[in-house]
């Protein structure tokens, strides 16, 4: 499973473009965290990656007006941590994806506006097709993480 990490060498506010790194070439301090994330998300990640080729094909054929394809990638937050981020797909040729990395509402180092990025298909962790009417498809990892958070907030008896 070729998960990759979207990592910026410098803070995006300095004008540098993010650089995509595979899990194998990620900084040593991130490798253990990436491995733990891979293990804890194995089932939803497997389903997201299994269905990704169909989502890719739908995008390449052309989505209806107002629909958007979002891909989840991992963005380096520090030398030893990362966060999951969404990127709105603009183009997808072969295994290369051009997208806008969307701002995160979490954390002080969040991007203020979408940032153009390119990354390999192996960087994708999850995908979500947002319909113009508000319906969503995919989002396997996202729904799993939401369910885990919900369960963690339930009071113990």
What is the tens place of the pLDDT at every residue in 82-120?
778 899 999 999 999 999 999 875 554 555 789 899 999
Other residues' Cβ atoms within 10 Å of the Cβ of residue 51: 15
Confidence of residue 21 (pLDDT cuts 50, 70, 90): low
Confidence of residue 36 (pLDDT cuts 50, 70, 90): confident
Q: How far apart are CA 138 and CA 152, in angstroms?
A: 23
Higher confidence at residue 48 or residue 123?
48
Confidence of residue 65 (pLDDT cuts 50, 70, 90): very high
Confidence of residue 16 (pLDDT cuts 50, 70, 90): low
Q: How far apart are CA 56 and CA 122, in angstroms?
A: 13
The whole model's pTM is what? 0.79
- Does residue 7 register a pLDDT over 50? no
Q: How far apart are CA 36 and CA 121, in angstroms?
A: 21
Best CA proximity match to 103, nearest among 36, 37, 13, 33: 13
């Amino acid at each position: 499973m070729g998960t990759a990490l979207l990592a910026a060498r410098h803070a995006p506010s300095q004008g540098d473009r993010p650089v995509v790194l595979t899990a194998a070439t990620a900084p040593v301090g991130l490798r253990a965290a990436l491995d733990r994330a891979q293990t804890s998300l194995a089932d939803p990640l497997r389903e997201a990656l299994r269905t990704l080729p169909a989502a890719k094909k739908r995008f390449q054929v052309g989505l209806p007006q107002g629909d958007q394809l979002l891909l989840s990638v991992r963005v380096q937050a520090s030398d030893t941590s990362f966060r999951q981020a969404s990127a709105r797909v603009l183009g997808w040729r072969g295994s290369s994806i051009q997208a806008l990395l969307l701002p995160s509402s979490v954390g002080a180092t969040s991007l203020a506006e979408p940032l153009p990025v390119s990354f390999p298909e192996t960087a994708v962790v999850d995908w979500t097709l947002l319909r113009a009417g508000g319906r969503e498809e995919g989002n396997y990892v996202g729904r799993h993480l939401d369910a885990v958070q919900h369960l963690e907030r339930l009071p113990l008896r």
